[in-house]
Amino acid sequence: MKIAVIGAGFGGMSAAWDLIRAGHQVTIFEAADHTGGLASGFREPHWDWSVEHLYHHWFASDEHMLGLIEELGLSRKVFFPLPKTVVYHKGKFYPFDSILAALLYPGLRWGINKIRFGLVGLYLRLTKNWQALEKTTVDSWMHKWAGDKVYEEMWEPLIIGKFGEKHARAVNMAWMWARFHVRSTRLGTYQGGFQTFSNDFAAILSERGVGIQLSTPITAIQPLPEGGLSLTTPNGPQTFDQCLFTVSPGLLAKMAPDLPEDYLLGLLSLKSMGAIVLTVSIDRQFSPEGYYWYNMPKSAGFPFLSLVEHTNYVSSENFGGDHILYIGDYLEPDHEYFSLSKEELMGRFLPSLTRINPDFSIGWVKKTWLYRTAYAQPVPLVNHSQNIPDLKTPLPGLYFASMSQVYPWDRGTNFAVQVGRQAAQRMLSGD
């Protein structure tokens, strides 16, 4: 078959890997001038490694991602440092990257609260019945079983940070369950950065015969009377037997208006949060304690959700001695941060860094970069499994694989690989 894949993220490239090995002709179309999708990155001339536009890492449990890397013969380039994660409490930061650290966290005094915290965590690790958990919200379930103090101190800030006040109390409990099943204290990365992995993967695909057309946005997908699909490209229409779409649900609805109305409405009803990341290069280490990930509750008054010192995870030597900070947040796509300039956001964000390190000065800053996306974090509501679009759309030959379909798992490259490969298998079987 002649097959098109729209989107050169990890999901699209993983599907192409399976499709080309099955003997089909595969072309990937990507609107950007690089592969990698939401896991792509950039590199300054004096850097040996790339830095992700939107910070990423792998967990030791990411079997789909690590399995693919092994198939590609690239496992030697993967490594798992053990970074330090801290959480904010009453003006100070405390370690929060192990069970012992969580038990010692002063936000919960010794007694019934810590017992409930431990028992809830143990239950969520052991149970496999996420289907029952999706029938209620995190807010309701945690208030009942963890208790008001435990939930409001430990879990509510996470939910509000991820989904905002608008959605925080509507997110279902299966989403929280999934976080207990896929996380590890060691965080993995790729020698050279995620963009280097993406480039290596793309090179292997090209060697196998996959056509990768960068800077080639597809603007329409239409069914043909004789069967197959027509894709509108900058160079005119091209026809294919099958097409896999791997970008956002809203974009699919826009590009394939011939989809049945109920399917279109289903796509448009899926909610998601956007993400914004201000990346800052500074001339010295920000955290002398070596902290990697700072979690800040919105209630503490910081203008962002998290601060990540990337070079406390991988060496600054990889970046010509520059020290790299990510300042990030999940926000509604209509939040004002999506319309402010980089300079305006620097004015909002950088002064708050002195609350974390009083010695910080704007004079430390060498360069900044701003990246935003309106589609970063799907919002799973109660009984969300009933709202997941099928990988096979009602248009013959058109398939859809996105972060909105990895539920109950959370978004991430591991599940992008999983859903991309699932879609490829469906395409191969015609199911």
Condensed to tens digits (0 to 9), the pLDDT of residues 13-67 reads 999 999 999 999 999 999 999 999 999 999 999 999 999 999 999 999 999 999 9
Residue 69 has pLDDT above 90, yes or no: yes
Beta strands in 332-427 (DSSP E): 365-378, 398-400
Can you state the angle between helices 173-182 and 138-145, rounded to 10 degrees? Answer: 70
CA 320/CA 382 separation, integer angstroms: 48
Residues 83, 307 contacting (CB under 8 angstroms): no
- pTM of structure: 0.92
CA 369 to chain centre: 19
Domain ranges for the chain: 2-80+191-271+383-429, 98-182
Assigned CATH for 2-80+191-271+383-429: 3.50.50.60
Give me the torsion for CA of 154, 157, 163, 169, rounded to 10°.
70
For position 36, what pLDDT does the model report?
96
For position 320, what pLDDT does the model report?
97
CA 360/CA 363 separation, integer angstroms: 8
Q: What is the pLDDT of residues 246-258, one digit of tens each?
A: 999 999 999 999 9
pLDDT bucket at 110, cuts 50 / 70 / 90:
low
CA 205/CA 203 separation, integer angstroms: 5
Q: What is the pLDDT of residues 356-396, one digit of tens each?
A: 999 999 999 999 999 999 888 899 999 999 999 999 999 99
Phi and psi, residue 114, nearest 5°: -70, -35
pLDDT bucket at 91, cuts 50 / 70 / 90:
confident
Q: Which residue has the higher pLDDT, 409 or 425?
A: 425
CA 32/CA 36 separation, integer angstroms: 9
DSSP three-state, residue 151:
helix
C-beta atoms surrounding 315 within 10 Å: 11
Residues 85, 292 contacting (CB under 8 angstroms): yes
CA 362/CA 366 separation, integer angstroms: 9
C-beta atoms surrounding 145 within 10 Å: 15
H/E segment holding residue 281:
strand 272-282
Retrieve residue 134's tokens.
Answer: 């999706």
